[in-house]
Amino acid sequence: MIDKELLDILACPACKSGVKYENEKIICQKCGLRYPVRDGIPVMLVSEAEKPGEKRA
């Protein structure tokens, strides 16, 4: 689980929009990129993000 205060200050690095936490991922509310959360830490790197409709192995 991600702390609400942290989630409130996070923004998508690609488009600078707000994000939400869902299914163990940080999801951009505008462009839909899904950032992984590893050991409780959001990995907010565009190169690590899944595009909408894409699944990473």
Residue 22: which CATH number?
2.20.25.10
Task: For residue 32, give its domain range.
Answer: 4-48
Confirm whether 44 is domain-assigned. yes
Could you tell me if residue 15 is inside a domain? yes
Q: Which residues contact 22 (CB under 8 A, 6 or more apart)?
A: none
Flag whether the pTM goes above 0.85.
yes
Residue 34: which of 13, 8, 4 has the closest Cα? 13
**How many structural domains comprise the chain?**
1
Tell me the pLDDT tens digit for each residue of 6-42.
999 999 999 999 999 999 999 999 999 999 999 999 9
**19 belongs to a structural domain:** yes
The pLDDT value recorded for residue 56 is 64
The span from the CA of 22 to the CA of 26, in Å, is 6
Is the residue at 29 inside a domain? yes
